[in-house]
Amino acid sequence: MERIRSGRDGRPTFSFEFSPPRDEVGEAQLWRTVRILEQLQPAFVSMTYGAGGSTRDRTVRITGQLATETTLLPVAHLTAVSHSAEQLRSVIGAYADAGIRNVLALRGDPPGDPLGEWQQHPDGLEHASDLVRLVRSLGDFTVGVAAFPEGHHRSPDLDHDARHFVNKLRAGAEYSITQMFFRAEDYLGLRDRVVRLDPEQGEKPIVPGIMPITSLRSVKRMAELSGKEVPPEVVQRLERAAGTGEVEDKDAVRREGVAIAAELSQRLIDEGVPCLHFYTLNFSRATLEVLTELGMVQPKQG
Ligand SMILES: Cc1cc2nc3c(=O)[nH]c(=O)nc-3n(C[C@H](O)[C@H](O)[C@H](O)COP(=O)(O)OP(=O)(O)OC[C@H]3O[C@@H](n4cnc5c(N)ncnc54)[C@H](O)[C@@H]3O)c2cc1C
């Protein structure tokens, strides 16, 4: 996708990830965040694809609204979970009808237990690479895929993981977005493995996914989401910020979480990444704070 590399003066671009809201209150919150972050002119925004029929319908509707009612370029996530190939074709058709031409093709996780054994739908697809091929076969779509700097939780080792990742790129994906991570070395290691395996595919941008931690509680949640523990040195910094008193210093934890995300982002910028992708959780504040810390947006006046 051209927009990923459209940063000027050696600065990377940035992008934001949103999730389908569960109800009207959540939808109002999402739109507030969208309108704030829209002003920063991100390269693209992405909308995750959730489990369950009603969430899925809302996902398609809201992603379509992002395409028609905002200045943003939406990337629609799509997973193979619980879908036959026929149903997947129909969702891709609905995205196309809504004016969406960018799809992040994912296998997805088993419903109910993200870290459990993968169950392919009897008439469905087995790997994300199959979905890349399906989306590409249905029209003029730009397709991205997921990347895992620490390895996917089901991959036996990093080389196995990188081989299958390269296969997704060879299937026709033009770029990838990574799982959240906290050590720049993990990202750089993946980038090097891809270049070693296939220099041509190594030209395709791997966009690092950044998640600012804003509370000690979310440390545990992150491990549940990604299947990887937050590194101990990061947890220690947050715990030190929380203090030793009876009441946790929540503001200090938040500031430290933003500082950690900004330091990681700066290191990645120094290493030449073309774009930074922020997991916003449908809120704008932490992302804005990191971008301000990096000097990529102006601090809010007043
Ligand atoms: C940026 C990003 C966005 C995401 N968005 C969503 C979302 O919107 N909704 C959602 O439900 N989940 C989402 N996920 C989670 C993702 O669906 C899970 O992590 C899932 O377990 C892996 O998906 P994948 O597309 O990487 O699968 P795959 O690429 O199919 O890989 C899954 C596992 O199978 C292995 N593998 C792949 N091909 C082969 C092969 N040919 N032979 C043997 N092994 C193989 C891989 O090495 C890996 O271990 C996202 C993840 C990321 C990083």
Ligand 1 within 6 A of CB of 277:
no
Give the pLDDT score at 300: 67
pLDDT per residue as tens digits for the range 11-30: 999 999 999 998 899 999 99
- Kindly report the CATH number assigned to the domain that includes residue 37: 3.20.20.220
Ligand 1 pocket, residue 164 CB under 6 Å? yes
Q: Does residue 46 have its Cβ closer than 6 Å to ligand 1? A: no
pLDDT higher than 80, residue 226: no
The answer to whether position 179 is within a domain reads: yes
* 153 Cβ closer than 6 Å to some ligand 1 atom: no
- Residue 210's Cβ-side half-sphere holds a number of Cα atoms within 13 Å equal to 30
Hey, which of 164, 166, 278 would you mutate to test ligand 1's pocket, going by the most ligand atoms within 8 Å of its Cβ?
A: 164
Which positions ≥6 away from 193 have C-beta within 8 Å? 158, 159, 162
Q: Which of 82, 162, 74 is nearest to 125 (CA)?
A: 82
> Does the active-site annotation cover 38?
no
User: In the predicted model, is pLDDT for residue 280 greater than 90?
Assistant: yes
pLDDT (0 to 100) of residue 45:
98
264 belongs to a structural domain: no
Residue 223 lies in a domain: no
Cα 6 to ligand 1 centre (Å): 27
What is the end-to-end Cα distance of the chain in Å, rounded?
Answer: 37
Number of helices and strands in the chain (H, E): 10, 8
* 296 within a domain of the structure (yes/no): no
Residue 78 included in any domain: yes
Look up the domain containing 38 and give its range.
11-212+277-282
The count of domains in the chain is 1
- How high is the mean pLDDT of the chain? 93
Q: In whole angstroms, give the CA distance from residue 43 to residue 257.
A: 24
Mind listing the pLDDT tens digit for each residue in 36-95? 999 999 999 999 998 666 677 888 999 999 999 999 999 999 999 999 999 999 999 999
Of the segments 127-131, 223-227, 248-252, which one has the largest average pLDDT value? 127-131
**Token code pair at residue 6:** 């459209």
Closest atom, ligand 1, to C-alpha of 77: 8
Please indicate, yes or no, if residue 111 is contained in any of the structural domains: yes
Q: Would you state the pLDDT for residue 225?
A: 72
Residue 116's pLDDT band, with cuts at 50, 70 and 90, is confident
Dump the DSSP string for 5-52. Answer: G--STT--EEEEEE---SSHHHHHHHHHHHHHHHTT--SEEEE---SS
Give the model's confidence band at 5: pLDDT under 50 very low, under 70 low, under 90 confident, else very high: very high
Instruction: Report the SS3 class of residue 207.
Output: strand
